[in-house]
Each structure stands twice: as C-alpha cells, then as structure tokens.
Chains A and B, each alone.
Chain A
Amino acid sequence: MSGLGPRYPTEKPDHPYVQHTFGGNLFGSYNSLFCAGCGYGIIGHIFTRVFEDEKLDHKLYPLIIGVGCYTQIVTLAHHKSQKFSTLHGRAPAVATGMKMANPSLKPIVFTGDGDCLGIGGNHFIHICRRNVDCTILIFNNSIYAMTGGQSAPTTLYGAKSTTTPYKTFENRSDAVKLALAAGATYIARTTVAHPRTLMKYFKKALRHKGTSVIEVITPCLTYFGSKNLDSLGAENLGLQGNKMDTGGKMIEWIKRNTVRKNQAEFMDDAELFNRYIIGEFRYDNSKIEYSEAYSKIQKVAMGED
C-alpha cells in the first residue's frame, strides 16, 4: 500500500492529532503499517470511506479495536473517529459497557478471528445474545499473524502454521454459525476481494438496530500464504496446488474458495469443506435491542410505567 496510491493534495485538517492519524484522512496519502498483500488496508480504506460517505458523527460512533495486526488500523481509520484499543478479546465487553452507560452511542467493534473466536469467544457469544446495538467486524485471516503465524481457531483443516508444522488437525470454528446460534440479529460474511459488498453490508449494519456481525475473510500473505498451497479448500478436486506467494494469488484463492449462500444450498458437506460461504445469513428487526430493553426496566423501577 505504501506510496502506491494516487497522490491527492496534502491538505491537512486543523486538528492537533492529525499528524498521527493523517493516514486516515481521505485527502492524504494512504500510508499503512501492514505488509504488502495484506487485506487490512482495504478494510481501513472502506471504514474511512463509509465514515465520510455516511457523514457519521465521530462522537456517536466510537471504534473499539481488539488486539491483532488490525490494531494498527488506527493509523488508517478516519482521523476523526474516536478509537479505543482494548485488551485481547475484550472489545465486545467494553462495547457493552459503553452502550449501557451512554445509549446514544453505537460502538463499531474491530476484532479478529483469534481475538473474537479464541480468547474473547465468551464475550462474543454474550454480546450477540444480548443484542447490544453495535457493529462487529471480524477479520478472519485464519492465522495469528501478529505473533508470527500460529494456528487460530479458524485455521483451515490441513493448513500449516508455526504451531502446527505438519498440518492443522483441529476442526475450525465458524463465526457465522456461532453468531446465528448466539442470537445476533444481522449476520453476514464477505471477503476483501468483494469490497463493494463489504461496503454495502457495513452500511446496512450501521443502520441496523441490534448486534450486527460481519465476518470479513482477509488474506495474510506473510504468514498464511507463504506456508500454504492454494489447493486448500479444493481437496475434493485433487489439485496439486500452487504456492501463494503474492497478494494477487491470495485474493484469487479467496475468490475461488468462497461460495455464495444460494449456491451453497445445493452443495453437500464434502464440497463445502474448508470453503467460505458468503452472503447475508440473517436480518431480523423484530428483536428488541439491549439498551432499549433496559430503559424499559428503568422506567418500571422509577415507577413511571
């Protein structure tokens, strides 16, 4: 990403913090701390664009960020958005506290596969169960990339990582199925290879009142791509597999390894093994939102109702 994008006039907004978050200014240069071939640049870009397009009030949409490579998105995300980097896995709990203390806020949670499904799995289940009004973006690169490529709960079966040097022998967890079971009210999955769909889902999630979960499949070239072949997800075809040594090859692999939801309905488990189903899985406006439900309790307690 660094320096390759078009150079716009470097007009700096008048704000004391702009030197440190200028990357997130739409009219600046898109410098990022991510490796070449990483998908987080696209996600940071999309967040910033949506923030600007939707004219989101920076005071009402705090960005709660978990721990992973994407924590560095603070330099890319919109320079006005109020960001808070939490501890590993605890972002949903922080978002719950914020929403309950100030119900006018709508937290946007950035979390990763290890962050959300590994260490913070419990908080993720319970924020979905409560239907707290917030937007959760789960970035799934199927590896712990920040610590150098260890296996994650989402690592595909048979993939190699530094802690599974022969191959991954565990079943992977599925964020969408988990969210469906836990009771989130807007659930979708897409990839960074489909940025316009991601933008559409993100905007829809922002307008939805309730917990929205969007899982974003994103490539990690440095630690996942370099160790694995693109035959992952195509085991039943008996392919030889090629190395995924460039960002483009990983994006191609992601595109090939995803199945649309309507297509997946006609496919059996063997065909869907190690592949990602993309699409919208639930959109439910009927369930009451958590802080709204609690405000009713408050009215009863105050004797107004």
Chain B
Amino acid sequence: MSEKNTKRYLPEGKYVMMGNVAMAEGALAAGLNFFGGYPITPSTEVIEHLAKRLPEVGGSCIQMEDELASINAVMGASLTGAKAMTATSGPGLSLMVETISMAANLEIPFVFCDVQRFGPGSHGPVTAPHHNDIGLIRFAGHGEFQVIALAPMNCQELFDLTITAFNFAETYRCPVFILSDAYLGHLHEPVYIPPKEDIIKSVILRELPQDYSKIFSYKDDETGEYIIPKPPIIGTDYYPPTSLQLPHNTMGLPISNALSFIEILMEKVNSNIEKISITEEYRLEDADIVIIAYGLPVRASYRAVDEARKEGIKVGVFRLITVWSFPEEKIKTVIKDSKAIIIPELNYTGIIAEQVERVKKPETLIKKIPKVGEIHHPDEILKIIKEVSI
C-alpha cells in the first residue's frame, strides 16, 4: 500500500507540464482508480499519460473500443465504488451524451474532461480551440438534470480544478465537466504540486451510504432541504436489488411522480449554488464596464483590462470558473450598476452571453466578441473596451 501511495502523488515542487498531463495528475491526486477512454485529438495525452501512471497506483486505465464503451465502462466502474473519469473531445462527447444522461438520472458520480476542439470531422483544424460544447453539456441530456462545469485557464488550474471536480462529483452526485480546450490542453506551463498531506486533506473519499434505505437524493419534508446521500455501491450491502431506470424515490423504488424526481435532480445542485459557484473578480471595484469571461479568453481579458486602466478606463473582469450551473444572482449583483458588458467567447453563438442577456437590465449594453479556431488578442478586447467606453 505504501508503494501505491507514494507513486500516486508527485513529490512537492514545480514542474513544467502539458495541460492534459496536469489534468491527469490532478485526477490521480484526487484518487482516480479507473479511466476508460478512446483516443481523440486533442485529448489523447490524458489517456496516454494515465495508461502509464494508473497501473503504478493499482488503478486501471483501459482503452475501450469506442466512446460509447468508454463512458459505459466508467459508469460501471463508478457503480462498484471506483473514482472514475473519461476524457474526450466534441465528437466523442456526442456519442457519450446518452450515457451521461443516464448516469445523471441514476446519480452515478464521475468526472468528464472535455478538451474542446474545432469541428466535427477529423480533417479540419482539430487542434484549434472552439468552446462549442459548452451548450451541449448543459442542454443535450435526455430527461432533465443539472450539471457542474469548471473552466480552468492555465495548467495550474487544470491540476487544482480537477481535484475540485472530483470533490463536486462525490458531493453532488451529478456529471462534473472540466472544460479544457485544444490550446489549453497542449500548453506547457509551470505547475506547482502541493505536498501530499495537503492534497489528501482536500480530497473527499468515496464512502458508503449511512443507511441502505436512503441512497438517492431526496427532499427533506421538514426542512425543505435537498439531501444528497453517498452513492450505492455494487458489491456491498448498500445496493438495491431492483431496476433503477424509472423515476425513483430515495430507496431506488419506482414512483409515479416524475416531476418531483426531476425537481430533486435539478434542485440538489441549484440549491447549493453558493458552494458550487467559484468566481474571480479582477479590478472590478469601481468598474462601470464589466468583462465576463471563462477559460482561455480570461487571460487576454486581464491583459486588456491592465492596458485600459492605464488609459483611465474603469473596466474589470468577472471570471466564471464554475460555468454551470450559471451563477445568476452573482452576475446580477456584479452588473447592477455597469453601463456595458463585454463577453469574449471562443464561439459564435455566445452561449454564456445568452445567459447574461437573460439576467441583465434592458438598458445595459452587451457586446460579444466571438472567436473560433483561434484565441483573442488583448488588443482586440482593448479595442472593444474603448468603443463602449465612449
């Protein structure tokens, strides 16, 4: 056992790591036991790295026959109590949607790394970033459920947020996505690995449920709170010997009220939004122009804000680290007094811009900066800042 533990955590220190490798190391630090994957550019380095590292710590990393099999194997592994993960890119995600929906409905926890890329085919610029899956992960599922999605912007965060993602998966029992992209996944940057003891303290372990008649989320009738028990595990006494596909109650037995079942799936996450929502504010104190960004465009935005501040424009960045579920209330307070909102996104539609439009005041100006296949230059954002500041 000691052997396994020493190999699971890299010695404390600074490393130069590729984004995908940092994500894989973060998963290992979070206690990953099972990885099922299928190679797809640009996420391939995750499975390549874990194929070497997971057996060293006693886990299994399997290259399955296709994406459908990978995600189903991940679901099976998670059911037996392993911390499981898969990594893929756009076309792979489309194939996995069916199983993600099912796992969400059965509250099977797992982490999903989505290294987003441009285009569906294999003959396009697939090593270019395109935040096109951001709407898919939230709205594609069959049935209704809420997901959590975290958007890192550098390799250090890929490591740290992967640990957070596993903790969220264990706590809230819903699919947790890490929204990387082709440039971020292939970026080499210094990553600080904290000491082993600190990592162990921050990781939430897989535990058995307290009571075998309470294994699925339910609404407490007295307090009205949504309670999320630990997941049932096959191979222990805490697994119901019945079919779980139907709308079920906390015991896993079928119920006729499907609405209350869906309500629990949605509200168990939404009611905890204060704990789930991670955001960052940059020079926002007196800003009357707010840039709302997530992922790679944040880096260009920070630089553009610094330049604009030199010229006396009051602008700041509100960064979404948790993209889903969408922190409506926080956004409302941030944009309360601002005269303009700028949203640089790596897609044309502006999926987060749509969400912001939903909560902003009618008179507030909103300006999207769409970009596909390449990243924003700070000057482009600066130009827009100057435009709206006049």
State which of A38-46, A79-87, A242-250 sits at the interface with chain B: A79-87
Mark interface residues in B105-147 (1 if CB within 8 Å of A CB, else 0). 0000000000000000000000000000000000000000000
**Given A86-B72, A87-B72, A97-B72, residue A21 in contact with residue B235 (CB < 8 A):** no
Report chain B residues within 8 Å CB of A282.
none
Mark interface residues in B20-31 (1 if CB within 8 Å of A CB, else 0). 000000000000
User: Are B64 and A104 touching (Cβ within 8 A)?
Assistant: no
Chain A minimum-CB-distance residue to B58: A298
Minimum C-beta distance from A91 to chain B (A): 8
**Given A82-B239, A85-B243, A122-B65, residue A97 in contact with residue B102 (CB < 8 A):** no
A6 interface hit (Cβ, 8 Å):
no
**Given A86-B72, A302-B55, residue A17 in contact with residue B241 (CB < 8 A):** yes
Counting chain A residues whose Cβ lies within 8 A of the other chain, the interface size class is: 35 or more
User: Are B75 and A97 touching (Cβ within 8 A)?
Assistant: yes
A93 interface hit (Cβ, 8 Å):
yes
User: Are B242 and A126 touching (Cβ within 8 A)?
Assistant: no
Mark interface residues in A261-305 (1 if CB within 8 Å of B CB, else 0). 000000000000000000000000000000000100110111110
User: Are A102 and B80 touching (Cβ within 8 A)?
Assistant: yes
User: Are B34 and A59 touching (Cβ within 8 A)?
Assistant: no
User: Are A21 and B60 touching (Cβ within 8 A)?
Assistant: no
Task: Tell me the complex Cα distance, A98–B58, Å.
Answer: 15
B48 interface hit (Cβ, 8 Å):
no
Among A81, A101, A304, which residue has the most Cβ atoms of chain B within 10 A? A101
Report chain B residues within 8 Å CB of A58.
241
Task: Tell me the complex Cα distance, A105–B81, Å.
Answer: 12
| A 219-259 contacts with B by CB, 8 A | none
Task: Tell me the complex Cα distance, A222–B237, Å.
Answer: 39
Minimum C-beta distance from B268 to chain A (A): 22
User: Are B76 and A98 touching (Cβ within 8 A)?
Assistant: yes
State which of A20, A83, A94, A302 has its C-beta within 8 Å of the C-beta of B75: A94
Report chain B residues within 8 Å CB of A95.
76
Task: Tell me the complex Cα distance, A17–B253, Å.
Answer: 8
User: Are B4 and A302 touching (Cβ within 8 A)?
Assistant: yes
B334 interface hit (Cβ, 8 Å):
no
Mark interface residues in B316-353 (1 if CB within 8 Å of A CB, else 0). 00000000000000000000000000000000000000
Interface size on B, residues (CB 8 A): 50
Task: Tell me the complex Cα distance, A49–B130, Å.
Answer: 56
**Given A21-B241, A79-B241, A81-B241, residue A123 in contact with residue B69 (CB < 8 A):** yes
A173 interface hit (Cβ, 8 Å):
no
Task: Tell me the complex Cα distance, A104–B82, Å.
Answer: 13
Minimum C-beta distance from B237 to chain A (A): 7
**Given A17-B251, A94-B73, A126-B69, residue A102 in contact with residue B235 (CB < 8 A):** yes
**Given A94-B76, A302-B7, residue A83 in contact with residue B243 (CB < 8 A):** yes
Residues of A within 8 A of B (CB): 15-17, 20-21, 58-60, 62, 64-65, 71, 74, 79-87, 90, 93-98, 100-102, 104-105, 122-123, 125-126, 294, 297-298, 300-304
Pairs A–B under 8 Å by Cβ, sample size 21: A17-B242, A17-B251, A59-B235, A74-B243, A82-B239, A83-B243, A87-B72, A90-B99, A93-B64, A93-B76, A96-B62, A96-B69, A97-B73, A97-B77, A98-B79, A101-B60, A101-B81, A102-B80, A302-B56, A302-B58, A303-B3
